[in-house]
Structure 1
Amino acid sequence: MNASKLIFFSAIAVAFFISANLMAQKRDFYELRIYHIENAEQEGMLDDYLANAFIPAAHKHGIAKVGVFKPIDSQPNAGKAVYLFVPFKSLDEYVGLESKLAKDQTYQAAGSAYINASHAKPPYKRIETSLLQAMTGQPKFAESTLTNAKKDRVYELRSYEGATERLYKQKVKMFNSGEMDIFEKLNCSPIFYAETIAGANMPNLVYMTTHENMDIRNEHWKQFGSDPDWAGMKDLPEYANTVSRNDTKLLYPAEYSDL
């Protein structure tokens, strides 16, 4: 092979490597939807719709995993909310899902009771939605590694609000620079870390860790607080005052949840 061909093929190889690396680092987008409900009847309507209509349709249209979570019994909103987590590869996929569902006759039939519910018998009180983008430190969502019964698990959904955009971005930097690594080291099996693009209580980040039960969840936080890596970063001046409010929800996955 002469020198010009060698240079040509080397350039192609480098371009391919850069392209592949960029693709690997492309960040997911997430919809986090909260259905606020008033009674067990609405919860049943939602369970039927999500398990038998929405999730199968999402799978059909290229969304491999969908998470559905509910507050554990000790939470103030137990029986009053259902959380839906939908990961998307792009904003186009997010925007395009609604039109796909509108044309999907199998989905329309399976979800008819929900879709065509009467104003006098709605399946929820209100819907609250946030659009999120995965942090660079974990650009793709991950399935929990837990194998115990779903009803016994504790999935911890946290939102950290910042007093200003600058301080919020510093907290995001803190996660990307080492805070995520601590959760991984402690086997907290995180599903996602994300920045809120649109939603309530901005500026804020949102993340979810998973634990076998409440005792293990509490032990994980005890270990986190005494971890040397956390001790080495928590008092750094650049991370001072980065969280003005911590909103924590303790959930468990529905039996039909993919995550």
Structure 2
Amino acid sequence: MQRRTFLKSALTASVASAASAGTALAQPSGGREYYQLRKYHLSRGTGSAMTEKYFSEALIPTLNRMGMKTIGAFSVNYGPETPTYYLLIPSSDLFTLTNLDLLLAKDETFLKAAEPFWSSPGKDASPFVDAESSLLAAFDGWPHLTAPDTKQKRIFHLRTYVSSTYGDHVRKVEMFHHGEFKIFQESGCGQVFYGDLLIGRQLPSLTYMLTFPDLAALEKGWAGFLSHPEWKKLAAEPRYAFEPIVTNIDSLILNPLPFSQV
């Protein structure tokens, strides 16, 4: 494994990209997308309404104006994370993506629209308890986000695979490139994005997102994937089967917010 550091400026976060001798990890190149995945743990009460207004009237229009299109906005409706909103921000401009909050703080149009959210009086009145961001690089085999038809009913399955070693992580990424993309497609699973985690919690790990019309379609798609002959063959290959290469899986069902562009 090798690590390369990208220094865009003194303000830019450093980004690590792992590489292997084979197909392995996503390696940043011209045109490849990066993803900032933001998570907002909302306050009870008015937190949801204030955050939705901030997303729809301030943040997403500004991101679009800055050249970042197809912004995903989602809610977690089940499990211990509720109420939580996720924001998926794709861009091929790494500098802008890693310096986003600094750039927003200098944008007068944004600041005016965002003022109620950015300047809520004190912790008790804040629309969110805390927020966190992670930075991902798109896989070689899936270099750009693929958005479903936003006019259709849809849900999303956000999954994160954590490995105990970088070698195991490399092998898991290889599995996607050696067959999982195709198996998902043939099983009726819509594929939105795949990314290597560069900065964030739970390194080394990858995150990907699937989409389905509803929960019944999700269950049918996964059943088709797990029973697919090519999946059984791939999972049995000695390179991937000799030890567990994924030690933890986070799995969330997300619903798009009304203004989501994904």
Which moves more between the two structures, 120-129 or 164-173? Answer: 120-129
Query: Tell me, what secondary structure is at the counterpart of 1:200?
Result: coil
Deviation at 1:185?
Answer: 2.2
Specify the code of the residue in structure 1 equivalent to 2:250.
D
Counterpart for residue 111 of structure 1: 114
The CA RMSD over aligned residues, in Å, is 1.9
Return the alpha-carbon distance in structure 1 between the equivalents of residues 103 and 43 of structure 2. Answer: 30
Task: Please list, as runs of the form range in 1=range in 2, the aligned pairs for 1:94-173 lying within 5 A after superposition.
Answer: 94-119=97-122, 120-145=124-149, 147-149=151-153, 153-173=154-174
After TM superposition, list the pairs within 5 Å mapping 1:1-259 onto structure 2. Answer: 26-72=31-77, 74-78=78-82, 80-119=83-122, 120-145=124-149, 147-149=151-153, 153-240=154-241, 241-259=244-262
Check the 8 A contact 1:211/1:217 in 2, yes or no.
yes
Asked if 1 retains the 8 angstrom alpha-carbon contact of 2:172 and 2:246, the reply is yes
SS in 2 for 1:160: strand
Q: Give the letter aligned to residue 67 of structure 1.
A: G
Cα shift at 1:182: 1.2
**Aligned-partner Cα distance in 2 for 1:156–1:228:** 23
The DSSP-based 3-state class of the residue aligned with 1:190 is: strand
Secondary structure of 1:156's partner?
A: strand
How many correspondences in the alignment?
233
Gaps of 5+ in 1: 1-22
Give the TM-score normalised by structure 1. 0.85
Q: Which has the larger radius of gyration?
A: 1
Shift of 1:147: 4.4
Among all aligned residue pairs of Structure 1 and Structure 2, give the percentage whose two residues are the same amino acid: 30
Q: What are the ranges of 5 or more consecutive residues in structure 2 without an aligned counterpart?
A: 1-27
Alpha carbons 2:158, 2:254 under 8 Å: kept: yes
**Does the CA-based 8 Å contact 1:155-1:252 persist in structure 2?**
yes
Superposed displacement of residue 76, structure 1: 3.2
Distance 2:213 2:79 in 1: 17
Structure number with the higher helix fraction is 1
**TM-score normalised over the length of structure 2:** 0.84
C-alpha separation between the residues in 2 aligned to 1:181 and 1:25?
24
For 1:70-127, what per-residue CA distance to the aligned partner results, in whole angstroms no more than 9, with x for missing partners? 113x43333x210010001131121343343223222111111011112231121011
- Tell me by how many angstroms 1:146 deviates: 6.3
